[in-house]
Amino acid sequence: MRVRFFALCTFVLFWYVIVFSRIVELPYPHKVFLVFFCLLFHPEPVLGKTLIEHAIASIFRVLIASFIAFVIAIPLGVAMGWFERLNLFASTIVEVLRPIPPLAWIPLAYILFSKLSNPTQTAQFFIVFIGAFFPCLISVVDAARNTPSELIEMARAFNANNRKILSSIVLPHSLQGIVTGVRIGLGVGWMSIIAAEMLATSGAGLGYFIMVMYEVGGRIAEIISGMTLIGIIGYVMNLLLLKIERVVMPWR
């Protein structure tokens, strides 16, 4: 705890040094903190929403799209790790699409879903889905493929069929990969939604808030406030997932 507090103090001190040295034009940390806490509970005049309302909108999009991504990626990853032919077939497509950053999908997504009733939100869900899906899938596939062969051979010696081996050996062994994939996928999904919100009028969202604050006159304190909340939420998400990991896999 002391180390974390010391790290935070060092960061704030470094911020003051930058402001005093005039390397870049930044507001003082204490002024940004005042703006940040004010925006948390009082609506910003231009958009008429608090930072908390913007955060809720972004979190909602990330959780829905990431959940869909994980529901597909986890069983597909286990199946690809177990069935060699499926892995050869699917990995060809995956390895072509996986290197494409989620941000590169943004223009195409807004075009593809432009005729739907709510194209902006659908496109943002899709971008988060892309960001969360591939890290989770790759992590699960690797974990499933690395199931110790001696365990599988021992199960076959006791006349266990493929379904029994998959459910009793491969799936439990893939648990670590599943948890790691969810952590990484959720983090990438969180970064993706912020970028997606910056490029479209969504009415609410932290990315949208930051972009509007830039467009109405470069309000640096408000921009940093939005960035601060993005970092805090990402940190809390990771912490919660680490706690879940300790509960699910206490041996780690």
Cα-flanking dihedrals φ and ψ of residue 17, to 5°? Answer: -60, -45
Going residue by residue through the chain, which has 252 residues, state the pLDDT in tens, using 9 for 90 and above. Answer: 778 888 888 988 998 888 888 887 888 888 999 999 999 988 888 788 899 999 999 999 999 999 999 999 999 999 898 888 888 899 889 999 999 998 899 889 888 888 887 888 889 999 999 999 999 999 999 988 888 788 878 877 777 777 777 778 888 888 888 999 999 999 999 999 988 888 766 678 899 999 999 988 778 999 999 999 999 999 999 899 888 888 877 766
What distance in Å separates the CA atoms of residue 206 and residue 187, rounded to the nearest whole number? 15
What distance in Å separates the CA atoms of residue 102 and residue 195, rounded to the nearest whole number? 9
Domain count, the chain: 2
Is pTM beyond 0.85? Reply is: yes
Per-residue confidence (pLDDT) for residue 20, from 0 to 100? 87
Judgement on whether residues 87 and 5 belong to the same structural domain of the protein = no
Q: Is 143 helix (H, G, I), strand (E, B) or coil?
A: helix
Judgement on whether residues 122 and 202 belong to the same structural domain of the protein = yes
Judgement on whether residues 118 and 163 belong to the same structural domain of the protein = yes
What distance in Å separates the CA atoms of residue 208 and residue 213, rounded to the nearest whole number? 9
Judgement on whether residues 185 and 71 belong to the same structural domain of the protein = yes
* Cα end-to-end span (Å), the chain: 21
DSSP letter, residue 104 = G
Judgement on whether residues 156 and 206 belong to the same structural domain of the protein = yes
What distance in Å separates the CA atoms of residue 31 and residue 43, rounded to the nearest whole number? 18
Question: Please, what is the Cα angle at 244 between 238 and 248, to 5 degrees?
Answer: 140
Judgement on whether residues 129 and 192 belong to the same structural domain of the protein = yes
Judgement on whether residues 222 and 188 belong to the same structural domain of the protein = yes
Q: How far is CA 155 from its chain centroid?
A: 37
166 class by beta-carbon count within 10 Å (0-12 exposed, 13-18 middle, 19+ buried): buried
Per-residue confidence (pLDDT) for residue 61, from 0 to 100? 93
Judgement on whether residues 71 and 55 belong to the same structural domain of the protein = yes
Judgement on whether residues 151 and 118 belong to the same structural domain of the protein = yes
Tokens of 3: 């180390």
Instruction: For residue 240, count other CB atoms closer than 10 A to its CB.
Output: 12
Q: 66 is in which domain, residue-wise?
A: 45-248
Q: How far is CA 128 from its chain centroid?
A: 8
Q: Quick check: 133 and 72 in contact, CB under 8 A? A: yes
Tokens of 31: 């002024």
Per-residue confidence (pLDDT) for residue 252, from 0 to 100? 63
Length of the chain: 252
172, 231, 215: which is closest to 8 by C-alpha?
A: 231
Per-residue confidence (pLDDT) for residue 181, from 0 to 100? 93
Judgement on whether residues 164 and 54 belong to the same structural domain of the protein = yes
What distance in Å separates the CA atoms of residue 231 and residue 218, rounded to the nearest whole number? 20
Q: Is 170 helix (H, G, I), strand (E, B) or coil?
A: helix
Judgement on whether residues 143 and 28 belong to the same structural domain of the protein = no
Q: Quick check: 64 and 186 in contact, CB under 8 A? A: no
Judgement on whether residues 139 and 238 belong to the same structural domain of the protein = yes
CATH code, domain with 190 = 1.10.3720.10
Contacts of 72 (CB under 8 A, 6+ apart): 133
